[in-house]
Amino acid sequence: MSGKADTVRGLLAELLADGRPNPADVPSRLLEARDGLGFPDAAAVLEHTAGVLPLLDLFGASGHPLLDAVRRGGTPCALALFTPGMELSPRVPAVHGRAAGVSVVLSGRYRYGSAAAEAALVQIGCADGLRLCLVAHDHPALAVGGGGGAAGGWGWAEAADAEIDARLVSPPVTWDAGSPLVAALDAYTWSYLTLAVAHATSVVAGLRRVLAVPDGGAAPLSGSQHLAHELSRLDIELSLLADLARLGPRLSGAPATPTGAGVPSSPTGAHVSAGVSAAAALAACTRLTRRTARIADDFAAEFGLPGGPSWADAAHAHFGGPHMAESELARRMGLLEGRS
């Protein structure tokens, strides 16, 4: 894992050199960073800077070495808040913690999306509600490995009575509309959308180039109705999603303008609007990026086109995948009232 972490660590050093960047600015800086930067590394850097770091503000200045290393970018960290389960809800903790003096003991299995991660920010269920916990992946009571379809010895981790310093555990958090947890994740969602759509668009453009001028002088495949139809559908949907990524935060109802300017006067109403917009965008994004990865993979297998999508696992793992994203949208729309 060290080689992958080194690439991510170098990008984090560049981004954090002048202080923590605005989450909205990170995607464009990553897309301009260097030629050939793959989606897994770019997504890992984005998740650390736009997802993990804002949530670490909830911990305060604990002074723990691991917290300091993650904040500086020396230890790449993933979000582990979206472990799939039968409930298909990020609000249901997959890991549980119990107090033990100055420590919290963790038990459970969680999913994370970055192969370069050396730590994860995990949601845990405690006696007083949900909390966030920063866990180092070299913890002796943590088994980190493949499983769940992830390749390369990453993707899932299981804690078996792992004792964690209480300084690495946040105060209680909630998934209530407008809460610090939800606000931070929604801001990260819009940043992720920008990066994921840009990468998927480049994958489709690359497929079109290969189909038009195949290697080895073979006859072009661009006339295939199947290929043309699939790529045209992707082009249209990705274009619409790119517009949503660009305009979405401004259409979501936040930040609110003064009452009387056509904006709801109720803070709750504004938060619900913003939350539903972000959740809807995420549901569309996870579904579409997964389709792009699958089509690229199918074309490689069925038509002998070079290269498969090395980013497929990362595209599936972030935010728990399409089904979890769609279930969260349903909850925010009030369609699953009374459920977790």
> Which secondary-structure segment (H or E) carries 317?
helix 312-317
Cross-strand pairs, 105: 98, 163
Q: Give the relative orientation of helices 225-251 and 180-212 as an angle to the nearest 10 degrees.
A: 150
- Comparing 231 with 107, the larger pLDDT belongs to 107
Cβ atoms of 206 and 244 within 8 Å: the answer is no
pLDDT in tens, 227-239: 778 888 889 999 9
pLDDT of residue 67: 96
Q: What is the spatial distance between Cα 76 and Cα 119, in angstroms, rounded to a whole number?
A: 7
- Comparing 100 with 340, the larger pLDDT belongs to 100
For residues 12-35, average pLDDT? 88
Query: For residue 305, what are its two tokens?
Result: 């086109």
Cross-strand pairs, 95: 108, 124
Backbone angles phi, psi at 307, to 5 degrees: 80, 135
pLDDT band at 331; cut points 50, 70, 90: confident
Q: Is the pLDDT of residue 126 over 70?
A: yes
Tell me which residue has tokens 């453009």: 205
- Specify the CATH class of 2-168 in words: mainly beta
Q: What is the spatial distance between Cα 139 and Cα 217, in angstroms, rounded to a whole number?
A: 53
Coil, helix or strand for 80?
Answer: strand
Q: Is the pLDDT of residue 114 over 80?
A: yes
Query: For residue 53, what are its two tokens?
Result: 């770091």
Domain boundaries, the chain: 2-168, 180-332
pLDDT band at 109; cut points 50, 70, 90: very high
pLDDT in tens, 53-83: 999 999 987 779 999 999 999 999 999 999 8
Q: Give the relative orientation of helices 267-303 and 225-251 as an angle to the nearest 10 degrees.
A: 160
Contacts of residue 16, defined as CB under 8 A and 6 or more positions apart, other chains included, come to: 49, 72, 73
The rounded Cα 13 to chain-centroid distance in angstroms is: 20
Instruction: Read off the DSSP letter of residue 16.
Output: T
pLDDT in tens, 258-304: 333 333 333 344 444 677 888 888 999 988 888 888 888 777 777 66
Q: What is the spatial distance between Cα 96 and Cα 123, in angstroms, rounded to a whole number?
A: 8
Bridge pairing between strands 129-136 and 119-126: antiparallel
pLDDT of residue 134: 97
Residue 110 half-sphere exposure, CB side, CA atoms within 13 Å?
34
For domain 180-332, say whether CATH 1.20.140.10 is its number.
yes
Tally the residues of the chain.
340
Query: For residue 39, what are its two tokens?
Result: 């989606």
Q: What is the pTM of this model?
A: 0.85
- Comparing 205 with 120, the larger pLDDT belongs to 120
Contacts of residue 51, defined as CB under 8 A and 6 or more positions apart, other chains included, come to: 79, 184, 185, 188, 192
pLDDT of residue 296: 82
Instruction: Read off the DSSP letter of residue 218.
Output: P
pLDDT in tens, 189-228: 999 999 999 989 988 888 887 777 655 555 555 546 667 7
Range of lowest pLDDT (28-32, 62-66, 140-144, 293-297): 293-297
